[in-house]
Amino acid sequence: MKSNVNIRKMVIWLFVIAVVSFTIAIIAFFSTENYMVSFRDRNNFEGNSIDDVRTFDVDQLKEIYIHSVSSDVSVFSTEEEDIKIHFYGRSTLKSEKALPKLITNLEGRKLKIEIEYPKVIFSNTNVVLDVYIPQDYKESIIIDTVSADVDISNLDIDNFQCKTVSGDLRIKSLGSDNLTLKTTSGEVNIMDFTGNLKADSVSGDIDAGYRIFDNNVDVKTISGKVEIDLPQNAEFYLKTNTVSG
């Protein structure tokens, strides 16, 4: 009997410790800069617009890296001499600390472009990242996104890499010596393309159309289908291997 009482006391103490620890963790979370905005404060929901424009000299740059979560990304060609980055949209939250922010860093010859989200809930945010690339830039672009669509148009780049999770990828009028794609749970649509293509896809279809074809194509898919549209005069060797698609 005494043993049962001791076990019962131990369980009660463990429960109390767990509740206290959870309460302390919640208080600490609210005390940081990455805080949760109270849904009881109506002033927080009057809304706030976001409009951030930045430019960078393209000279000497060897790589442009773009990372985005929950913000759609579009990359365009421009006749301007500088790279232009435009992050814009609107959030239902009024507090500046609750808004997503554009983060840009120059690390040697690499330009990093990222979107940073605070830890908030009950937020309805609709923001977009547009990046304009000068026509003279030919080096390397790397894009990494989660829960965001990506649009690429009218570019001529030596090396282009794109990794997407839970988002569609649309490419139009792209010339690239090496185009490398890795997608999960998203559709890939490529139109008017020239260059080598290497793609890995899980749970998504790939549809690629070539403008001129004298290249290598290496595509791997799981639970998806692949369609490659080639010019009538194209000559090629075909080897296929697919799983559930």
CATH code: domain of residue 126 = 2.160.20
Q: Does residue 43 register a pLDDT over 60? A: no
Count of domains observed in the chain? 1
SS3 of residue 12 by DSSP:
helix
* 175 in any annotated domain: yes
| Domain span at 152 | 42-243
* 212 in any annotated domain: yes
* 133 in any annotated domain: yes
- Torsion sign across C-alpha atoms 236, 154, 208, 220: positive
Q: Which of 173, 177, 176 is nearest to 76 (CA)?
A: 173
* 166 in any annotated domain: yes
Strand 82-91 to strand 125-134: parallel, antiparallel, or no bridges (unpaired)?
A: antiparallel
- At 116-168, the pLDDT tens digits run 988 765 567 899 999 999 999 999 999 999 999 999 999 999 999 999 999 99
Supply the DSSP string of 63-128, one letter for each residue.
Answer: EEEEEEESSEEEEEEESSSEEEEEEEEEES---GGGS-EEEEEEETTEEEEEEE--S-SS--EEEE
* 48 in any annotated domain: yes
Query: In angstroms, what is the C-alpha Rg of the chain?
Result: 24
Q: Which of 197, 170, 172, 200 is nearest to 184 (CA)?
A: 200
pLDDT > 90 fraction of the chain, expressed in percent and rounded: 62
User: pLDDT grade, residue 7 (50/70/90)?
Assistant: low
Please give the DSSP secondary-structure letter assigned to residue 144. Answer: E
* 13 in any annotated domain: no
* 20 in any annotated domain: no
Span of 4-8, 67-71, 90-94, 144-148 with lowest mean pLDDT: 4-8
* 25 in any annotated domain: no
Instruction: Report CA dihedral (11, 15, 17, 23) to the nearest 10 degrees.
Output: 180
